[in-house]
Amino acid sequence: MLNWQQVFDGEIMEKRLHILSGSHSIDLVQKVAKRLKSPLHPLKMERFANGEIKYQLEESVRGGNVFVFQTHSQPVNDAIVEQAIIIDAAKRASAKNITAVCPYLGYSRQDRKAYGREPITARLVIDILAMAGADRIVAVNLHSGQTQGFFNGPFDHLTALPVLAKYLKKKFNGGAVVVSPDSGRVKLADRYAKQIGADLAIVHKRRAETNKAEALDVIGEVAGRDCIIVDDMIDTGGTICAAADLLKRRGARSVSAAASHGLFSPPAQQSLAASAIDSIVVSDTVPLSIKLSKPKIEVVSVAALLAAAIKAIHEESSVSAIFDGSNQI
């Protein structure tokens, strides 16, 4: 059976695969298109004077399999609306099948009502994509796997874990401790620990208010060890900075961080520069928006994973088979 790395050895492309992209994922989508040997479908984007977006597909997609890429990076609301508009254009242009490809699915953190009178925005965003005409969704590392259930159709949930774990395994070569920065990431941290042959520790995090994280305690042996904090995303950096400070106070030899999505919203640049973190690795689901000399930020690509998934969807073969089941989290 082929795995996702071998899948490109043979001849692949068919004619009716159309890769369309919004303006937020250009670097990543170009890498994916190159792997698939399929040029990006030409789109014309304009804006009305009041800021409204206007798109036109410059070639036919009639009867084709259309993949509409957009990562929901900042400005997030524009990213989502832009993707919905392209999907709508493809639907009205008689595409046979439309897949919304969201390397980072925006608003995915609010996937339940944690308190009274709150919205469930993960569901809302998925409803917008579905209403626009998406028949299928592909996303990388959702905040929680259950979010797939908000879409009444096929949902391929990929994970950047194999590419990040490969990088970490090479860098640490055994002896490290993978640290979950909160109770929500324990399963993820356990999978990293197994893949890179490391021990596991867990930080007890409390969020007194939105965007303010406190690390209260750590369970596991961290003194004298190289600790790797793993998370689905780094947004302001508050979670990993708080965990890193605590780990250093508990005697960690070094503290690194790994995350699928490097959002790095303000004040991430300042917080990370002032933190106890030695190095960071993220995937390219979101374009890197900050520059730091310390901690150094490495970026590994999920282009091969996304290209392999798109090829499997287009050819109607199994997505799980090429990822050997590791595409689920």
What is the binding site for ligand R5P (CB under 6 A)? 109, 181, 184, 211, 213, 231-239
Q: Tell me, what amino acid is at 151?
A: F
User: Closest approach of Cβ 219 to ligand R5P, in Å?
Assistant: 17
What's the sign of the alpha-carbon dihedral 25, 234, 329, 193? positive
Q: Which is nearer to ligand R5P, 61 or 233 (CB)?
A: 233
Rounded to a whole number of angstroms, the minimum distance from the CB of residue 214 to ligand R5P is: 11
Residue 195 burial class via C-beta count within 10 angstroms: exposed 0-12, middle 13-18, buried 19 and up: middle
CB 225, min distance to ligand R5P, A: 21
Query: Residue 99 in contact with residue 54, Cβ under 8 Å?
Result: no
- CB 203, CB 181: distance < 8 Å: yes
Which residue's structure tokens are 């090829």?
311
- By C-beta, is 178 or 307 nearer to ligand R5P? 178
Selection from 119, 125, 159 nearest residue 139 by Cα: 159
Q: Which is closer to ligand R5P, CB of 84 or CB of 228?
A: 228
Pairing of strands 53-57, 65-69: unpaired
Q: Comparing C-alpha atoms, which of 101, 166, 165, 112 is closest to residue 134?
A: 101
Min separation Cβ 47 and ligand R5P, Å: 31
For residue 215, what are the contacts with CB-CB under 8 A and spacing of at least 6? 181, 203, 204, 205, 242, 243, 245, 246
Choose between 159 and 239: whose C-beta lies nearer to ligand R5P.
239
Please, what is the minimum distance in Å from the beta carbon of residue 286 to ligand R5P?
13
Nearest approach, Cβ of residue 108 and ligand R5P (Å)? 10
Active site residues: 205
Closer to ligand R5P by Cβ: residue 235 or 278: 235
How many whole angstroms separate alpha carbon 259 and alpha carbon 279?
Answer: 12
Cis peptide before 103 (omega within 30 of 0): no
Whether omega before 181 lies within 30 degrees of 0, making that bond cis, reads: no
Residue with tokens 């879409």: 151
Q: Are 173 and 166 in contact (CB under 8 A)?
A: no
Comparison of 238 and 295: residue with beta carbon closer to ligand R5P = 238
Which has the closest alpha carbon to 146: 157, 130, 161, 132? 157
**Which residue shows structure tokens 């339940």?**
112
